[in-house]
């Protein structure tokens, strides 16, 4: 069982910023990486000095939905630098819980081989259904 007090949110879009703000409001210590080109959420959310630093200090790492398009980099449109997925995974020891959305099978297998606990939160049916609603609305459907 994981005891989670601190969370690193690595990369992603405005949804990740909203998530960070909500987690901080629920008294988690939240650090962000990959958000140097945007305004940060309010109190309780800090910008990490580096991806490995953010990961090493956190109990849980949350990656975006969609985590990666190429199995090499984390999607991070608010970052001036590319975030290597290997940098995240190499910094995470077996005590870390890693969450990501739509994780490529090769990344899931690699994490399992390392003994890392990785969960693809998009595989949860309720998330996929609830995510489909705003997606359909934004597409005009």
Long-range contacts of 70-76 (CB under 8 A, 24+ apart): 71/104, 71/106, 71/107, 74/10, 74/11, 74/12, 74/34, 75/11, 75/12, 75/13, 76/10, 76/11, 76/12, 76/34, 76/35
Given this model, what pLDDT does residue 134 score? 55
Topology of the domain comprising 6-138: Rossmann fold (3.40.50)
> Are 84 and 92 contacting, i.e. CB atoms less than 8 angstroms apart?
no
Predicted TM-score (pTM) of this structure: 0.89
Output the tens digit of pLDDT for each of the chain's 141 residues.
Answer: 668 999 999 999 999 999 999 999 999 999 999 999 998 887 889 999 999 999 999 999 999 999 999 999 999 999 999 999 999 999 999 999 999 999 999 999 999 999 999 999 998 766 655 655 555 556 665
Domain boundaries, the chain: 6-138
Given this model, what pLDDT does residue 131 score? 59
């Amino acid at each position: 069982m994981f005891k989670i007090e601190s969370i690193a949110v690595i990369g992603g879009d405005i949804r990740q910023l909203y998530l960070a703000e909500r987690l901080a409001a629920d008294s988690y210590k939240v650090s962000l990486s990959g958000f140097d080109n945007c305004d940060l959420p309010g109190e309780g959310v800090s910008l990490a000095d580096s991806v490995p630093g953010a990961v090493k200090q956190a109990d849980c790492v949350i990656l975006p939905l969609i985590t990666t398009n190429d199995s090499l980099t984390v999607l991070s449109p608010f970052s001036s630098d590319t975030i290597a997925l290997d940098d995240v995974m190499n910094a995470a020891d077996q005590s870390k819980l890693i969450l990501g959305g739509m994780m490529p099978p090769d990344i899931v297998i690699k994490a399992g081989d390392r003994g890392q606990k990785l969960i693809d939160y998009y595989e949860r049916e309720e998330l996929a259904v609830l995510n489909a609603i705003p997606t359909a609305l934004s597409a005009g459907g």
